C-alpha cells in the first residue's frame, strides 16, 4: 500500500473491517438459524467463560450494525477465550471465521455450477457468484495482511 497516507490507510482498514463485520453478521444469521434448529445456539454463546474476552468481544461488536449477531458469531468459536486478548484479536478471529465460511460457499457454488442441465443464464449467474466470492476472498486476504501489519498498540 505504498503511496497511501496514514490517514487514508486507516480509513481503508476501518472500511475493510466494517465490511468484514457485515459479512460476519450475514454468516452469523445463517449459523444462528442453523444452530437454533439443532438446539445448540445457547451453548455456543456461553463458550466465552473468560470475562476479559467477553468484554473485548462485546466492545468490538458494539460498533457494528448487529452487535448481538456479531457477538454470538464470534462467541461460537470454541477457542474464543484463549484467542481473544485484544480488539485486534477479536477482529482477526471474525475475519478468519468469515474467510472459512466464504471458502465453503465458494466450494458449494462450484459444485452447483458443475450440475448438468443448467441453462446458460443459470451458468452466468453462478459464474458471477464465483467471481464475486473470489473477489471477497481476495479482499479478506488483504484485510488479514493489513491486520498482521497493524500495530496492536494503535487504537482501531
For the chain, which residues make up each domain, given as ranges? 6-149
State how far the Cα of 129 lies from the Cα of 122, in Å rounded to an integer: 11
- The number of beta carbons lying within 10 Å of the beta carbon of residue 75 is 21
Q: Measured at the alpha carbon of residue 23, what is the angle toward residues 19 and 33, in degrees to the nearest 5? A: 155
With the CA atoms of 121, 123, 129 and 135 taken in that order, what torsion angle do they form, in degrees rounded to the nearest 10?
Answer: -120
Which of 77 and 34 is assigned the larger pLDDT? 77
- pLDDT value at residue 54: 87
Contact by Cβ (8 Å): 53, 80: yes
Instruction: Average the pLDDT over 100-119 and give the result.
Output: 93
At residue 24, does pLDDT exceed 80?
no
Q: CB-hemisphere CA count at 13 Å for 66?
A: 17
In tens, the pLDDT along 52-94 reads 888 999 999 998 898 998 999 898 898 888 889 988 999 999 9
- pLDDT value at residue 143: 93
Q: How confident is the model at residue 34 (pLDDT cuts 50, 70, 90)?
A: low
At residue 131, does pLDDT exceed 90?
yes
Amino acid at each position: 500500500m505504498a503511496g497511501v497516507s496514514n490517514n487514508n490507510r486507516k480509513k481503508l482498514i476501518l472500511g475493510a473491517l466494517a465490511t468484514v463485520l457485515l459479512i460476519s453478521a450475514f454468516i452469523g444469521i445463517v449459523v444462528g438459524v442453523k444452530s437454533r434448529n439443532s438446539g445448540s445456539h445457547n451453548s455456543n454463546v456461553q463458550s466465552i467463560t473468560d470475562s476479559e474476552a467477553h468484554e473485548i468481544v462485546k466492545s468490538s461488536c458494539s460498533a457494528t450494525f448487529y452487535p448481538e449477531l456479531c457477538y454470538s458469531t464470534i462467541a461460537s468459536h470454541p477457542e474464543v477465550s484463549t484467542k481473544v486478548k485484544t480488539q485486534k484479536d477479536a477482529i482477526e478471529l471474525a475475519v478468519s471465521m468469515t474467510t472459512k465460511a466464504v471458502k465453503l460457499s465458494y466450494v458449494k457454488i462450484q459444485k452447483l455450477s458443475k450440475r448438468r442441465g443448467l441453462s446458460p443464464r443459470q451458468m452466468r449467474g453462478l459464474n458471477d457468484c464465483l467471481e464475486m466470492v473470489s473477489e471477497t476472498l481476495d479482499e479478506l486476504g488483504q484485510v488479514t495482511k493489513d491486520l498482521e501489519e497493524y500495530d496492536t498498540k494503535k487504537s482501531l
